[in-house]
Amino acid sequence: MTIEDLKEGNQLFRNTKFKDYKNDFETLVEKGQSPEILFIGCSDSRVVPDLIISSKPGDMFIVRNVGNFVPPYKDDNDYHGTTAAIEFALSVLNVKHIIICGHSNCGACRSLYLDLENDKTLIHMKKWLQLGMKAKEEVLKKLNFKTQEEEIYTLTEKTSVIYQLENLLTFPEVKKRIKEGDLSIHGWYYKIEDGTIECYNKEKKEFESL
């Protein structure tokens, strides 16, 4: 796809699909957005949140980053894109659900097993990948001689979702609202190859079909 394709795509959107949502957009502009869901997904171009769950404009506040990682809460004034979005979703939009959605064939999780030490073009990436290291360490403890490479990656992707949920719980406002019954958090795993989604069951400690 080229820039010209994008221009033509916008023209097609305005001439066709925009009309289907015209009233929705007018209402959203007039009254503002009030989504009940914060969706934290990966920047992977193959994972398109609105497409995979058929949501409409205004349904979800969406954050996408490399690996669908969630940095643990820090009481400082540094730059935090994902954490700022979480705070905005909670304290301004008052969302009722937070979904962390991992996916198959995740480049970030696979990169956890690569040596990036000497690549100066990826200095920020190396720092960011530290958010997935607990998942890698957990997976390495479970390996045996029968474990296949793809199994390692899949287990890492799913384990990472669980650890990102734990990081989410370091946010005081998240813990407070869960305790009060005003917020629910969910761990999802999207399979690019067949479009299915699995949801993490905390009690059973396993992923189940959505």
Residues that constitute the known binding site for Zn(2+): 42, 44, 103, 106
**Which positions make up the binding site?**
42, 44, 103, 106
Nearest to 69 by CA among 10, 154, 127, 148: 127
Rg of the chain over all Cα atoms, to the nearest angstrom: 19
Q: What residues are paired with 39 via a beta bridge?
A: 62, 99
Calpha distance 42→21 (Å, rounded): 26
Calpha distance 175→184 (Å, rounded): 10
Contact 129, 112 (CB under 8 A): yes
Calpha distance 170→129 (Å, rounded): 19
DSSP, collapsed to helix, strand or coil, labels residue 175 as helix
Contact 124, 192 (CB under 8 A): no
Burial 166-177 (b: 16+ CB within 10 A, else e): ebbeebeebeeb
DSSP, collapsed to helix, strand or coil, labels residue 181 as coil
